[in-house]
Structure formats: C-alpha cells, structure tokens
C-alpha cells in the first residue's frame, strides 16, 4: 500500500528575538493536525533557516517574529529559497506586524501572515488548503 | 545525471528528497536505493541512544564539531517520536545542532518514528545508506529517546554509545536486560551532578559481572562527560576510534559483523514489506471489520479469527 504523503513544516525564529512561546504553540498545533514539524530554535539567520528547510525537505516554512525585523528577515528567506531553486517551499509568517507591512510582505513572496488573536484552527486550515505535500 | 548519480556526487537537494520519498514510501525510491547500494559500506556509523533528556542531541552536536575539526564529513540522522494520536510529530533535535547548518560538510536530517518501535525505523536504515552513498565519512544516528528496549540501533551502527545521567534509579535498573546490554561505550553525561560516581560504579559492576559477553575482546569503557561544556567529548571520539580499530583488527570479527548486519537488514526489510503488503491489506479489508464485529458479538474468538484470516491470506499469496 502507498502511505499518504505527510506534510513537513519547518518552524523557525529568525533574528534576535527570544520569544518562542508563539512558535512552540504553533509547532504543537501542527503536530496535533498530523503534520511533521521540524523546530529549529531561536536566533536563526535567514541562511540557516533556508539550509535547514532544504536538508529537511519541508513543504512549508513558518517564520515567527515579534521583534520588528520582519521586513528584512522574511523577504530574505524567500530570496534565498529562490537562489537555491527551492521556490516550491511555501513561506508564511506569524507575529506582530504593523498593518501596512502586510501587503508589502505578501508582495515579497510571503504567502500569508498571521497576527495575534488568529484562531489555531484557522492556521491549520490554511496549511491544509495552501500547502501540498510534494507529489 | 540520474538521481543516484546526483546523490553520489553529494547533491544536497537530491539527498533530502530521496529521504523524504523513502519516508513516504514512494515506490520509485526503492529503485534509487538499489542503484545506490554498491556505493554504500564506506561510512562509519555511530549510534547514540539513551533516555529522553540525557543530552544525546547536545552530545551529537559537540561530536560533529570535533569530527569537522579533524576534517571528516558528517551525516546526522535524529529520530523523534510520532504522536500516536494525530500522526504528527515535533522534531526538535535540530535545535541543539543548528550551528552546523551552514557547514557544507554536515548533513542533518530529522526523522519521525511513524509508528515503528525499536528506536530507529526502516526508513532510518535506508537513510543511513543514502548518507553513506553521498560520501559522508561518519554517520551519527540519534535514536528516539525512549528507554529500556530500543536496541535496534545496534544492528545498524558500528559503534553504539549509551548515554546515561546520574540519579536515574538504583542499581537494579542497571541489572535489567535491554538497552544496557548493547553498549560498546557508556557515557555518563551531566557528570557534574551528584551521584555520577555511583552511576559509573553501577555500570562498571554490570559489565564486570558479565565478562563472558565480552569474549570478542572489547570491554565497554565508561566515560564521563558534560556535553554542554564540551567536556569529555574528545575522549569519547578516541574510544570510538579504538573500537573501530578493534573491529577492524580481526577478519573473523569483520566477517561476523558483516553477516549479522546483512542478515538483520534483509530480515527487517522482508518484515517491513510483509507488513506493508499483507498486513495493511488485511486491516483495510471489509472482512477484517466484519470479523471484528463477530468477535464483539461473541460469535467467535480472536484466536480462531486470527488463524482463519492469516491462513486464508497466505494460501492466496502462495497461489
């Protein structure tokens, strides 16, 4: 029999922000939804995030940022994925962002952004609808 | 270049994808593994096992640093458990090793158990072959940290290291069968904690009482370490080297090990294939459901039902 492909997700915290409660809750939520979650910990450079995503062959990267550096860090991850020919990996972000940054980030290739107060089932549903495990 | 050639040339993306395909049981991955097999058998495989929280990941991280300083390339396979309820998993071993992610000479892969027991899975065995074929000098396999019976690693690793910490129960624990019997090297990590000497003594006693099991000439050394502070790591690597030399010192040991490894790999593979092809088919059949119902209703018993289903299935398979 053929086992169904399992969605693999990297949850990463780029930059100098040390608050990972949100990222951990998201990781757990994904686990409970049946996804395999690689958690890479705090203080990652975009380069490290992308390298981990490639080695782990994930379908999606979930970036968490609460420290205000998202306008550099998030687009940089998308850029590096492109350089490595890994554009097929979906990038989304969670954390605290000013309203006006969200369209800019989406334009830079971050597929969706989740801000505080987002119900967890919405986050899971979004993955189920937008992330296809490699065919 | 086909996938196998790309992997042998060290292409990271192809390696990562193949391991995924193996894990997801994509039929094509088997063909690639067949092509890769002649290129395997060169890497030295070290298995690290022990209970959760003893410091396996941190130890692996430090070992990687020292191996890299020696100019050796390293592959790491870190296994974490799959949730039996959701089928999902959080693979967190990478947190401790992330500083190596930019090093081209290191490939780290987290794997989930996906319902297998024994500490490593059939996919892990195949992934060892993939990293071996890609040319890594040393492959470190960190098993899922479970406890007393996760001994499958011993068949896949050249050297198996058991990591313990002080204060995890009295000496009766050390007498029990299972995980403690498989170690080639024992490491008491977090050795600055109270009771480290006691733990060393308990393990020593266990080894001394079991002298006859070490008749091939290797008596497991017991080392202390503080992995977080990089203490005791060089000594561990030295002992791995000594164990390797011991294994390579006699043709008899080598051929015996080779036989054991091939025997184990093949029998596990057959078991795995039977489970996938036969077991899953039975479980997913309508007959299985109706049988369940008739056992619940008291019309038959599970022993009879099992014999009926299996003999029917096997006869059909033979025909």
Q: Determine the distance in angstroms separating the CA of A50 from the nearest CA of chain B, rounded to an integer.
A: 9
On whether the CB atoms of residues A33 and B88 are closer than 8 A, the answer is yes
Helix (H, G, I), strand (E, B) or coil at A59: coil
Mutate to test the interface with A, among B17, B29, B85, B88 (most CBs of A within 10 A): B88
pLDDT at A3 over 60: no
| B69 compared with B53, residue with greater pLDDT | B69
Q: What is the pLDDT of residue B172?
A: 54
Q: Residue B86: list chain A partners with CB under 8 A.
A: 31-34
Query: Would the pLDDT of A2 be above 80?
Result: no
Fold of A8-130: Rossmann fold (3.40.50)
> pLDDT at position B128, please?
96
Condensed to tens digits (0 to 9), the pLDDT of residues A33-74 reads 999 999 988 889 999 999 999 999 999 999 999 888 899 999
CB distance B89–A37 less than 8 Å?
yes
Question: Which of A2, A45, A55 lies at the smallest CB-CB distance from B16?
Answer: A55
Question: In order of start, what are the domains of chain B with their CATH numbers?
Answer: 3-249 (3.40.50.300), 268-318 (no CATH)
Residues of B in contact with A84 (CB under 8 A): 13
Question: What confidence tier does B27 reach under pLDDT thresholds 50, 70, 90?
Answer: confident
Question: 3-class SS at A34?
Answer: coil
The pLDDT value recorded for residue A1 is: 35
In angstroms, the CA B263 to CA B280 distance is 24
Torsion angles phi and psi, residue B106, rounded to 5: -125, 130
B90 interaction partners in chain A (CB closer than 8 Å): 27-28, 31, 37, 39
Give mean pLDDT, residues B27-56. Answer: 92
Residue B174 predicted with pLDDT over 60: no
Predicted ipTM? 0.90
Residue range B2-21: mean pLDDT, rounded: 94
**Mean of pLDDT values over B22-45:** 93
- Kindly report the nearest CA distance between residue B252 and chain A, in angstroms: 38
Q: What per-residue confidence (pLDDT) applies to A26?
A: 94
Q: Which two tokens stand for residue A13?
A: 């915290």
- Looking at residues B280-293, what average pLDDT do you find? 87
Whether residue B149 is predicted with pLDDT greater than 70 in this model: the reply is: no
Phi and psi at A11, nearest 5°, equal -105, 120
> φ, ψ for residue B145 (rounded to 5)?
-85, 100
* pLDDT category of residue B216 using cuts at 50, 70 and 90: confident
**Lowest-confidence region among A18-27, B76-85, B308-317:** B308-317
- Which chain B residues touch A56 with a CB distance below 8 Å? 16, 94, 109-110
d(CA A129, CA A103): 20
Q: What is the pLDDT of residues A104-133, one digit of tens each?
A: 999 999 999 999 999 999 999 999 999 988
Chain A positions with Cβ closer than 8 Å to B? 1-6, 8, 27-28, 30-41, 44-45, 47-48, 51-52, 54-57, 84-86, 133-134
| pLDDT, tens only, B220-275 | 999 999 999 999 999 999 999 999 999 999 888 889 888 988 998 898 888 888 88
Contact B186, B166 (CB under 8 A): no
Shortest CB distance from A38 goes to which of B86, B87, B110?
Answer: B110
C-alpha to C-alpha distances, B295 to B10, B279, B291, B308, nearest whole angstrom: 54, 19, 6, 13
What ranges do the domains of chain A cover?
8-130
All residues of chain A having their beta carbon less than 8 Å from the beta carbon of residue B24 are 3-6, 133
- Residue B318's pLDDT band (cuts 50, 70, 90): low
Phi, psi torsion values for B223, nearest 5 degrees: -115, 155
> What confidence score (pLDDT) does residue B205 get?
84
Q: Do A41 and B98 touch (CB under 8 A)?
A: yes
A39 vs B16, B95, B281: nearest CB: B95
The rounded mean pLDDT for chain B is 88
* CA–CA separation, B265 and B256 (whole Å): 14
* Residues of chain A with C-beta less than 8 angstroms from the C-beta of B89: 31, 36-37
**Per-residue tokens: A129:** 């609808």
**Cβ–Cβ gap A48/B280 under 8 Å:** no
């Amino acid at each position: 029999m053929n086992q169904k492909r399992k969605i693999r997700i990297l949850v990463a915290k780029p930059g100098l922000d040390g608050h990972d409660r949100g990222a951990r809750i998201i990781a757990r939520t994904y686990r409970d939804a049946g996804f395999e979650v690689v958690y890479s910990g705090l203080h990652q450079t975009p380069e490290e995030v992308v390298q981990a995503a490639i080695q782990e062959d994930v379908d999606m990267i979930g970036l968490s940022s609460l420290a205000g550096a998202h306008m550099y860090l998030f687009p940089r991850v998308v850029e590096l994925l492109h350089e490595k020919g890994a554009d097929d990996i979906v990038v989304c972000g969670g954390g605290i962002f000013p309203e006006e940054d969200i369209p800019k980030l989406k334009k830079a290739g971050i597929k969706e952004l989740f801000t505080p107060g987002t119900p967890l089932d919405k986050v899971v549903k979004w993955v189920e609808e937008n992330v296809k495990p490699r065919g | 270049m086909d996938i196998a050639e790309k992997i042998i040339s060290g292409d990271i993306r192809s390696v990562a994808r193949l391991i995924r395909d193996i894990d997801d049981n994509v039929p094509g991955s088997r063909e690639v593994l067949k092509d890769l097999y002649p290129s395997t058998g060169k890497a030295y495989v070290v298995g690290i096992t022990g209970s959760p929280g003893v410091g396996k990941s941190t130890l692996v991280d430090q070992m990687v640093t020292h191996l890299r300083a020696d100019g050796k390339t390293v592959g790491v396979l870190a296994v974490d458990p799959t949730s039996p309820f959701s089928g999902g998993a959080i693979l967190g071993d990478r947190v401790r090793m992330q500083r190596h992610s930019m090093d081209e000479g290191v490939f780290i892969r987290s794997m989930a158990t996906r319902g297998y027991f024994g500490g490593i899975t059939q996919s892990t065995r195949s992934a060892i072959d993939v990293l071996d074929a890609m040319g890594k000098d040393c492959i470190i396999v960190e098993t899922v940290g479970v406890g007393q019976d996760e001994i499958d690693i011993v068949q896949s690793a050249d050297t198996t290291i058991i990591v313990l910490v002080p204060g995890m129960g009295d000496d009766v624990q050390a007498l029990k069968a299972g995980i403690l019997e498989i170690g080639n090297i024992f490491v008491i990590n977090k050795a600055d904690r109270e009771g480290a000497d006691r733990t060393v003594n308990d393990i020593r006693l266990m080894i001394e009482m079991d002298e006859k099991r070490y008749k091939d000439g290797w008596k497991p050394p017991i080392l202390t370490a503080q992995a977080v502070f990089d203490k005791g790591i060089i000594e561990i690597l030295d002992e791995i080297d000594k164990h390797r030399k011991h294994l390579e010192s006699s043709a008899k040991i080598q051929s015996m090990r080779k036989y054991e490894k091939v025997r184990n790999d093949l029998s596990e593979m057959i078991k795995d294939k039977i489970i996938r092809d036969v077991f899953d088919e039975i479980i997913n059949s309508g007959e299985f459901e109706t049988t369940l119902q008739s056992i619940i209703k008291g019309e038959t018993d599970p022993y009879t039902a099992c014999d009926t289903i299996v003999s029917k299935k096997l006869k059909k398979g033979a025909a």
